[in-house]
Structure 1
């Protein structure tokens, strides 16, 4: 099921992010961990800030600055982000590249398993929001595409 190395990787995620709770399901089994014995508290938005739109479970949403022409791709996993294609040694995508719906644009490493990050729309890469190797949370914006 999960080995000591996997557990240490999960601990690293807890230490380097605001994640307070994680649940992972693999073909070998399911693991749920809560840091500090309770889920992380929900952070309240400042009074002057407008309420954030509800997120859907598709992994993406229209970006706030121009909902019709810009799409924001979001993470479906908690882990570590990489754009590097290990087979070629090159990045899957770069800024201003054009991608098609269904293209692999990056990976999220979850317990040593690389999960594909797939473009939900066709468009041009406008912005990459996560640095190589950085921890990433569920629902966190990864990149923006111009449709």
Structure 2
């Protein structure tokens, strides 16, 4: 079965390519992606069908067991890093559509708060999509200056979640 990170990478590659439809099959697992209005919609179907919707992330070059249909239009590439400002240098954005959780469980403290120092592998939140809880890492090092999403809020793909002043 494919890992969430592998699916994310596939979505990113599809989004950045001219491919409108993509299917990947491996070890009884099938992942199908189709662009719809500039967004990549993903379906992950092992023996039981489980759909995962994610807006525009990208796909992988053809490999054995990969079927690729190429169409003419492609989605415009989106920039996840904003222009430099005085408050922050980088925005951590949601890699998928889902529910934002600032802490691992209701009794715990939040992963980060304004002023928290983060490294590239620091978990900053969880985004739940289709009963899968995906830990989101900072992917940069620095200080959290602002949290842009509320706990339990529905977030979209590419929606800024945190602002970071990088080191």
Matched, 1:86 2:105: yes
> The residue matched to 2:135 in structure 1 has which SS?
strand
For residue 55 of structure 1, the aligned residue among 56, 66, 78 is 78
Matched, 1:23 2:42: yes
Which residue number corresponds to residue 64 of structure 1? 83
- Total equivalences in the alignment: 104
CA distance in 2, matches of 1:119, 1:108: 13
1:100-132 per-position Cα deviation (integer Å, ceiling 9, x unaligned)? 111100000111211011011000001111111
CA distance in 2, matches of 1:109, 1:26: 18
Contiguous gaps of at least 5 residues in structure 1? 1-19, 34-52
CA distance in 2, matches of 1:23, 1:123: 32
Matched, 1:107 2:126: yes
Given that 2:51 and 2:130 are in contact with CA atoms closer than 8 Å, whether structure 1 keeps it comes out as no
User: More strand per residue: 1 or 2?
Assistant: 2
CA distance in 2, matches of 1:32, 1:146: 32
Tell me the CA shift for residue 63 of structure 1: 2.3
Change (3 A) 1:32 1:85: closer
Which residue number corresponds to residue 122 of structure 1? 141
Q: Normalising by structure 1, report the TM-score.
A: 0.60
Q: Normalising by structure 2, report the TM-score.
A: 0.53
Contiguous gaps of at least 5 residues in structure 2? 1-38, 54-75
Given that 1:23 and 1:30 are in contact with CA atoms closer than 8 Å, whether structure 2 keeps it comes out as no
